[in-house]
Chains A and B, each alone.
Chain A
């Protein structure tokens, strides 16, 4: 892993030609990575204690909590498109992302005073809307600020920093509860502090990356402003189809963890650590897999990366369920995230004209999110009809077929003339 904090010209888009040596990761990527790290510390420290806080202090039951959790997961997919459109239409992705980060930070203030299921659900929803708004503009900034040949690594670095924050959050939360027994308000206040730091970093030091203006500065005439038609670009469509089909066979992590538990090979007390294990694998692999993607082709990595998910499905239902199988499952799941989450944003940002970059990334991410929601709902039925092992093996087989079919599109996706 090679990261340098050496400063690059603002915007950092100027690596034309020089590809033999690896330039340092740009300031934009590092700044946005640290913003994400701080924000994830903030949101994951609250997520970690939210079940305890809701049940111990606010006094909600399982059902009420499940309801909130559903809201938490479902909201962000749809506002994402709106955030992407706004960023493109204004050519101000930094300030649209700022709006998203700011909304989440403000939601934390209200969480301090929220009581009862309805109030907390509202705050949590606002937080997720903020996340939905900011994701695509932020990824578009990374895309614009990075030379095409290093996109995979740039997104890898960003996702690594992001996941470090996600891993630190729960540790900080439980550390604080250890310092101050019952001090849920302390966790909420510290979480707010991290959120403000993230927003301040973006607002004050985040470079104002503007794809349209920069394209104009480089090559003459100003590109036209964003039009919805840009999203139907013939280059983007195959990606949306591939991502959608693969997403339809991507069941939620929860099911994989449940399958592991169902086999009885692992003690149920380890359940919370499944998430930690996946996160650790993801953050370690994000950069190397991103660099690999730059070398062998990003679409190829995205498609082949789904074989890691196939492996995770099969590993989770191995007849001889052991600790090794559990670790293997989590490692494969982390590999899958490393090969897909940042990589798809890297691909999408280059398949649409610069003025539609945020929307293009948002479209790809929304397709994936919606497809996965459908997949989880569908898999619930399959699990019920066939039982965990057969259901999982079936999805694994279908996913292998889908990967093989998608593989026929790789050349086209990786070979498509990129937009700079």
Chain B
């Protein structure tokens, strides 16, 4: 090829891919806009009908005008009409007293915020978060809030990865800071590893909680004490714990295929005896902090394989042979308000 022909060929390639890429961007933009303008397919109810009794609060994930908006359904009719709150969250946890909502604002420099809302979904407090929202939970009486985010920068020269998990008083007030700064006790020994990560808090009361600590290649279920500022290992190999309403059992994810691949299943551990039950017939490849529907049933979110961004919330009994059932369509980050 002559150099003139090469230049022409290059220009042709650039024009072709520029046109193709631009067309794709424009088409996607139009589709997303149309999608986000559409009315939700899910049946709706007025908010006043669901706010009094026991209920489930979750993030609606239908690709429609209410995408990402927090919705509420009555506990006795989870598949029924949902009421929208008008508040958008990536992760949400609710109690009767209010809700903790983690939200990302993807501007040119993405920013992340933790917002606290009262029982009428009005904002009472907000803090900047240091990374991508992952988990949030409130203590049983709504006094304390916990947040977990991924702190991840972007660069080819070096990449840091870690989680940041914090506990603070709901609506402002005392802050306990990053739980990585708590004294870590593993198997009765005080240790101080630099690579520790803490995530997935579940509260016992306004003093004690459970969480996950990872260091090296291992994860631990730890019991945390806010006054003593300690994290004490309970047992190895457990992630994202959730305490049952009666306080006797903890459900969490376990990696059933250790090594390079990660395949999570759910297990339930009796806190008094330490006996662990793997939900053999339960979900595989789950990645969520489970929640207790009641003392014998867990709920969790799963992404739809064929619809990116859409997730469903499933329920499963805590026996090895129990099979999951669909609880709420187009729902994520569900918590139960009793």
Interface residues of A (CB under 8 A from B): 40, 43-44, 47-48, 50-52, 55-67, 69, 72-73, 115-118, 166, 170-171, 174-186, 189-190, 192-193, 196-197, 200-201, 204-205, 252-254, 257-258, 267-269, 271-275, 278-279, 337, 380, 383-384
The reply to whether B155 and A72 contact each other, CB–CB distance below 8 Å, is no
With known contacts A55-B132, A180-B25, A384-B193, A273–B18 Cβ distance under 8 A: no
Partner of B108, one of A56, A178, A271: A178
Partner of B17, one of A43, A115, A185, A197: A197
Residues of chain B within 8 A (CB-CB) of A183 are: 25, 28-29, 32
The reply to whether B159 and A254 contact each other, CB–CB distance below 8 Å, is yes
The reply to whether A43 and B156 contact each other, CB–CB distance below 8 Å, is yes
How far is it, in angstroms, between the C-alpha of A63 and the C-alpha of B237 when the chains are bound?
Answer: 13
The reply to whether A174 and B262 contact each other, CB–CB distance below 8 Å, is no
Partner of B110, one of A43, A52, A55, A380: A52
The reply to whether B154 and A44 contact each other, CB–CB distance below 8 Å, is yes
How far is it, in angstroms, between the C-alpha of A272 and the C-alpha of B161 when the chains are bound?
Answer: 11
The reply to whether A380 and B194 contact each other, CB–CB distance below 8 Å, is yes
User: Dominant SS at the A interface?
Assistant: helix
Interface residues of B (CB under 8 A from A): 1, 6-7, 9-10, 13-14, 17-18, 20-21, 24-25, 28-29, 32, 36, 67, 90, 104, 106-112, 128-132, 134, 150-164, 192-195, 197, 199, 214, 219, 239-240, 260-262, 285, 287, 303, 305, 308-309
Residues of chain B within 8 A (CB-CB) of A184 are: 308
How far is it, in angstroms, between the C-alpha of A21 and the C-alpha of B17 when the chains are bound?
Answer: 41
The reply to whether B214 and A63 contact each other, CB–CB distance below 8 Å, is yes
With known contacts A186-B24, A189-B24, A253-B158, A171–B17 Cβ distance under 8 A: no
| Chain B minimum-CB-distance residue to A337 | B157
B1 CB to nearest chain A CB (Å):
8
Residues of chain B within 8 A (CB-CB) of A118 are: 261
Residues of chain B within 8 A (CB-CB) of A182 are: 32, 67, 309
Partner of B130, one of A72, A178, A269: A269
Residues of chain B within 8 A (CB-CB) of A204 are: 1, 6-7, 9-10, 13
The reply to whether B150 and A51 contact each other, CB–CB distance below 8 Å, is yes
B80 CB to nearest chain A CB (Å):
26
Instruction: Name 23 interchain pairs, CB-CB below 8 A, sorted by A.
Output: A55-B150, A57-B309, A61-B262, A62-B134, A62-B162, A62-B197, A64-B262, A67-B260, A117-B262, A179-B29, A181-B106, A182-B67, A193-B21, A204-B1, A204-B7, A252-B158, A253-B155, A268-B130, A269-B128, A269-B130, A271-B130, A273-B109, A274-B153
The reply to whether B161 and A258 contact each other, CB–CB distance below 8 Å, is no
Q: Name which of A43, A59, A185 has the most chain B CB atoms within 10 A of its CB.
A: A59
Partner of A196, one of B13, B109, B214: B13
Residues of chain B within 8 A (CB-CB) of A178 are: 106-108
| Chain A minimum-CB-distance residue to B18 | A193
Residues of chain A within 8 A (CB-CB) of B305 are: 115
Q: Name which of A72, A170, A380 has the most chain B CB atoms within 10 A of its CB.
A: A170
The reply to whether A200 and B14 contact each other, CB–CB distance below 8 Å, is yes
